[in-house]
Amino acid sequence: MEDREIKGVIEALLFISGEPLSPDRIKNVLEEIDRGKIKSLLWELQQEYDMRLSGLRIVEVAGGFQIVTPPEVSQWVKKLKKIKQSARLTKPSLETLAIIAYKQPLVKAEIEDIRGVDSAGVIKGLLDKRFVKIIGRKDVPGRPILYATTKEFLQYFGLKDISDLPTLKEFNELAEEEGVGSLS
């Protein structure tokens, strides 16, 4: 098979898959092609879409690749499909999610330590939305529940994987940027 053909197959698979497609899953279909090749063709395809500036893009999200419509065309997409968008996450939800994302796995008490407020309700909401999951219990007295983020979380925020999160700011950097005073 020529590269051009393989690329065509990959494009078709991306188009038809309703979720991010990992190079491994593509390999399951294109058995004889090696994984490295699939990955480099995926990137080529991605670039081609970017350069063409079409109404479609290929994004790397939640451990796979996916064909999506970029925000620039969203108003028309929404008009056609009458997409019902869920409400944006509240500040407490985003805050709790950020703590879980950076510190996972962790228990409720650790979240509440940082936030300074009771967080049971917020955590439950995040569990319901499937942005957070229970991954076990911590081996300490009381065996509290350990929380971590999900694939849906990555997808919702357009993250490749958890290391794709921006690094947390350092304390002194913070103090200066936020105008909360500076080191004397």
Partner 1 sequence: MTYQIKLEVFEGPLDLLLHLIKKNEVNIYDIPISLIAQQYLDYIELMKDLNLEIAGEFLLMAATLIHIKSKMLLPQEETVSEEEEGEDPRAELVRRLLEYQRFKDAAEELGQREERWRDVFYHPHDITTEGEEEVMIEVGLFDLIDALREMIEKIPEKMSLEIIPEELTLRGRMTAVMERLDIAGPEGLTLWALLDKDTTRRAIVITFLALLELARVRFIKLLQVEGSGTVRVFRNEN
- Binding positions for partner 1, rule: CB under 8 A: 15-19, 59, 66-71, 74, 77, 81, 83, 85, 88-89, 91-92, 94-95, 97-99, 101-102, 114-118, 156-159, 165-166, 168-169, 171, 174-175, 178-184
CB 109 within 8 A of CB 144: yes
CB nearer to partner 1: give 98 or 127: 98
CB 134 within 8 A of CB 144: no
CB of 105 to partner 1, least distance (A): 16
CA distances from 5 to 17, 57, 132, 134 (A): 18, 20, 40, 43
List, in sequence order, every residue forming a beta bridge with 145; answer none if it has no partner. Answer: 137
CB of 81 to partner 1, least distance (A): 8
CB nearer to partner 1: give 111 or 146: 111
CB of 180 to partner 1, least distance (A): 4
Q: How far apart are CA 93 and CA 13, in angstroms?
A: 35
Residue 179 region by backbone torsions, left for phi larger than 0, else alpha for psi between -120 and 50, else beta:
left
CB of 34 to partner 1, least distance (A): 27
CB of 143 to partner 1, least distance (A): 25
Closest CA to 109 of 128, 151, 149, 137: 137
- Tokens 């991306």: give the residue: 14
CB nearer to partner 1: give 16 or 140: 16
CB nearer to partner 1: give 27 or 103: 103
CB nearer to partner 1: give 30 or 89: 89
